[in-house]
């Protein structure tokens, strides 16, 4: 019994220490070393009064582990006009385009370079599920860009010519994806939680037996 209990505790401890409490984990990253990206090409995000007309851009990601969203980072460029965008984290609608919005970041000022957007509601992102980072113009005269990655990451994308009216473009017909990074605070996977529950139960049984002199 002592041997079994010792193994369970050891496994539980290793599972708990694998990701320290409160640690942040990157679940998607298309930046190159040192936050590099393709500085010569951008996806345009523009309002209705821009010469190219209204256009939004969305890129998807699939978290490797489950966790509460901490922040997203991307590289942007101010082409002219308003520097403001509305960003969203959305679930996939099941057909390969953005669906239900999980968090909104309104009137974000685009940077000429690295832009960090911190989550305030911290939605739970599930491992293996598809989510979208969406960038829409916040004003009619918005004219901004989202840089592409330099790592030859080509996932396909979604774009729109009217607000929240997305069309998908598969990877086979896509240039490199927009560059971005997603960071979460992980939650224990169900298997880890089950292991911890078993360990606690066995420990309680062992203590009761010890207290009864058995």
Record the pTM: 0.81
Domains and CATH numbers, the chain: 24-189 (2.60.120)
Phi, psi of 86 (to 5 degrees): -105, 120
Per-residue confidence (pLDDT) for residue 190, from 0 to 100 = 56
- Widest CA span of the chain, in angstroms? 84
Query: How far apart are the C-alpha atoms of 136 and 113, rounded to whole Å?
Result: 18
Q: What is the DSSP string of 107-174?
A: EEEPPSEEEEEE-SS--EE-TT--EEEEEEESSTTEEEEEEEPSS-----EEEESSTT-EEEE-GGG-
Phi, psi of 128 (to 5 degrees): 85, -5
Low-confidence ranges of the chain (pLDDT < 50): 1-17, 191-207, 213-214
Terminal Cα-to-Cα distance of the chain (whole angstroms):
12
Q: What Å distances lie between residue 175 and 35, 78, 202, CA to CA? A: 20, 21, 55
Q: If you search the block for the tokens 């037996």, which residue do you land on?
A: 209
Residue 45 CB: number of other CB atoms within 10 A?
A: 31
Query: How far apart are the C-alpha atoms of 23 and 89, rounded to whole Å?
Result: 21
Beta bridge partners of 124: 68
Q: If you search the block for the tokens 């509460």, which residue do you land on?
A: 68
Per-residue confidence (pLDDT) for residue 188, from 0 to 100 = 80
Per-residue confidence (pLDDT) for residue 8, from 0 to 100 = 38
Per-residue confidence (pLDDT) for residue 21, from 0 to 100 = 56
Per-residue confidence (pLDDT) for residue 16, from 0 to 100 = 45
């Amino acid at each position: 019994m002592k041997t079994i209990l010792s193994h369970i505790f050891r496994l539980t401890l290793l599972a708990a220490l694998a990701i320290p409490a409160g640690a942040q984990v990157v679940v998607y990253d298309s930046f190159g070393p040192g936050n590099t990206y393709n500085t010569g090409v951008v996806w345009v995000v523009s309002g209705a009064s821009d010469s190219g007309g209204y256009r939004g851009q969305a890129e998807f990601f699939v978290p490797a582990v489950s966790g509460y969203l901490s922040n997203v980072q991307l590289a942007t460029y101010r082409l002219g006009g308003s520097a403001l965008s509305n960003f969203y984290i959305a679930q996939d609608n099941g057909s390969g385009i953005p669906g239900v919005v999980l968090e909104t970041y309104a009137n974000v000022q685009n940077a000429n370079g690295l832009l960090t957007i911190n989550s305030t509601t911290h939605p739970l992102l599930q491992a293996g599920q598809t989510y979208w980072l969406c960038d829409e113009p916040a004003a009619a005269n918005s004219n901004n860009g989202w840089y592409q990655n330099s790592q030859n990451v080509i996932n396909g994308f979604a774009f729109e010519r009217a607000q929240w009216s997305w069309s998908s473009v598969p990877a086979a017909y896509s240039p490199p994806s927009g560059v971005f990074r997603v960071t979460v605070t992980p939650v224990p996977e169900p298997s880890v939680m089950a292991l911890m529950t078993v360990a606690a139960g066995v420990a309680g049984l062992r203590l009761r037996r010890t207290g009864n002199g058995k």
